[in-house]
């Protein structure tokens, strides 16, 4: 009997969630029309309102944030995870500045390009328009609520946000500020809606409403993104992981190569844009490898080396040197570990990267113009760099404002 009752309850409950999500979807679709036709001044005003509200409500947000933090601590979450939940004045100030940076950017909506007169007499051009409604599913950090909301506002889209259950109280409080900012700018509150429940069934609904949601953007761990990609009924803008490469070419300036490989690996180990694999040409290796090995040894970075590079690294005292296996070339360590491989030339480097890279960010260090051009053209990754640290792959560094997922970067080399 109990089983039967539970089943019935579950069904009723699922029905409630479906009804809730359908209503949110319809409201988002309606709001998206108003957002698409909003003036740049209105959208920028909403962003500036939001920046102001984040600053003036820094104290008022604390009780909600404390609820999340206490729940997380009680549940025994690891300290770094608890830290990521914190909405302190500094985090809020960064969010506010992000909103202001977006407000200061040119509004590209309505921009017309390629206007030509055709032989028939018609004039034809292409106008940039909003997507409509995006659904965003993210984990943990509540400031993502502001980043997603601010990008939706600037780009004239509506969005439905589904944050992590750990941050539900903070997210609700932040979403209320976003809606206040929208309304103060005569924009619809429903342009940014937060899913109010932490029930997982809501995610299943959100990713399967093609009539109401045009695209889903997951931001979080590989498991989350893979699950959503497999089950979504609308396009998913995604990037699973960041196995980034730094390739040191024959003509690379040795000192620059060492500084870049150092920064790209050790400036921070956890981000998706940290270099996980070094490639170096046979000619550059004898000078480069002992030099970078010395740096890594001092910083405690383990090197997983191919046979050729191992020989050249063996004299570096104190270096953790391990034989690389085939699996290492695909690995995203997010740790003080780097794989290293000697290649013959730029061709082998490009082929290796296109095979093993996660297509996030890859860099060539070179002084050879044609190698640089070939690398930019032939490496199939979202960010392709010449003589820069892969750590620069970032929406703010690129002047594109807040990122949404790590997929702002995927837009950077949009297909024609």
CB of 157 to a second copy, least distance (A): 8
Angle CA 364–370–374, to nearest 5: 60
CB of 234 to a second copy, least distance (A): 9
Q: Which helix (H) or strand (E) holds 341?
A: strand 337-343
In the complex with a second copy, which residue's Cβ is closer, 94 or 354?
Answer: 354
In Å, the largest CA–CA distance within the chain is 77
CB of 376 to a second copy, least distance (A): 7
In the complex with a second copy, which residue's Cβ is closer, 287 or 412?
Answer: 412
What do you get for the CA distance between the two ends of the chain, in Å? Answer: 60
In the complex with a second copy, which residue's Cβ is closer, 109 or 206?
Answer: 109
- Binding residues for a second copy, per CB under 8 A? 33, 36-37, 108-111, 116, 118, 120, 122, 124, 126-132, 155, 210, 229-230, 233, 235, 354, 374, 376-378, 380, 384, 388, 392, 397-399, 412-416
Chain centroid to CA 152: 15
Nearest to 42 by CA among 156, 151, 118: 156
Q: How large is the C-alpha radius of gyration of the chain? A: 24
CB of 211 to a second copy, least distance (A): 12
Q: Give the residue carrying structure tokens 């960041």.
A: 242
CB of 155 to a second copy, least distance (A): 6
In the complex with a second copy, which residue's Cβ is closer, 44 or 65?
Answer: 44
In the complex with a second copy, which residue's Cβ is closer, 55 or 374?
Answer: 374
Q: How many CB atoms lie within 10 A of CB 328?
A: 21
CB of 21 to a second copy, least distance (A): 19
Nearest to 182 by CA among 206, 209, 218, 146: 146
φ, ψ for residue 127, nearest 5 deg: -110, 135
The length of the chain in residues reads: 416
How many C-alpha atoms does 235 have within 13 Å on its Cβ side? 6
* Alpha carbon distance 229, 223 (integer Å): 10
CB of 17 to a second copy, least distance (A): 22
In the complex with a second copy, which residue's Cβ is closer, 297 or 388?
Answer: 388
In the complex with a second copy, which residue's Cβ is closer, 165 or 354?
Answer: 354
């Amino acid at each position: 009997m109990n089983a039967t009752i539970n089943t019935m309850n579950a069904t009723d409950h699922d029905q409630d969630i479906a009804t809730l999500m359908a209503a949110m979807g319809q409201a988002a679709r309606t709001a998206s029309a108003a957002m698409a036709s909003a003036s740049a001044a209105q959208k920028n005003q909403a962003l500036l309102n939001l920046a102001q509200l984040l600053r003036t409500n820094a104290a008022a947000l604390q009780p909600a944030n404390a609820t999340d933090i206490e729940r997380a601590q009680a549940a025994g979450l690891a300290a770094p995870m608890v830290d990521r939940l914190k909405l302190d004045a500094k985090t809020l100030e960064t969010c506010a500045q992000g909103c202001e940076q977006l407000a200061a950017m040119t509004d590209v909506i309505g921009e017309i390009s390629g206007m030509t007169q055709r032989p028939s007499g018609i004039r034809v051009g292409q106008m940039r328009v909003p997507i409509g409604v995006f659904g965003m599913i993210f984990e943990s950090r509540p400031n993502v609520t502001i980043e997603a909301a601010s990008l939706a506002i600037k780009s004239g889209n509506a969005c439905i946000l589904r944050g992590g259950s750990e941050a539900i109280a903070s997210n609700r409080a932040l979403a209320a500020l976003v809606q206040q900012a929208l309304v103060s700018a005569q924009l619809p509150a429903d342009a940014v809606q937060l899913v109010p429940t932490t029930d997982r069934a809501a995610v299943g609904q959100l990713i399967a409403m093609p009539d109401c949601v045009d695209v889903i953007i997951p931001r979080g761990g590989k498991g989350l993104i893979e699950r959503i990609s497999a089950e979504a009924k609308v396009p998913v803008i995604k990037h699973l992981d960041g196995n980034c490469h730094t390739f040191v070419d024959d003509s690379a300036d040795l000192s620059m190569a060492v500084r870049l490989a150092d920064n790209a690996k050790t400036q921070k180990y956890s981000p998706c844009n940290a270099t996980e694999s070094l490639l170096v040409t046979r000619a550059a290796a004898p000078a480069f490898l002992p030099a970078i090995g010395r740096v890594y040894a001092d910083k405690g970075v383990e090197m997983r080396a191919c046979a050729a590079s191992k020989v050249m690294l063996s004299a570096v005292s104190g270096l953790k040197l391990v034989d690389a296996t085939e699996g290492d070339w695909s690995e995203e360590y997010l740790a003080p570990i780097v794989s290293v491989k000697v290649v013959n030339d730029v061709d082998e480097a490009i082929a290796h990267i296109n095979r093993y890279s996660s297509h996030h960010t890859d860099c060539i260090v070179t002084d050879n113009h044609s190698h640089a051009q070939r690398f930019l053209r032939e490496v199939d990754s979202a960010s392709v760099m010449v003589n820069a640290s892969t750590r620069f792959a970032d929406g703010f560094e690129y002047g594109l404002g807040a990122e949404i997922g790590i997929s702002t970067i995927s837009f950077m080399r949009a297909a024609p």
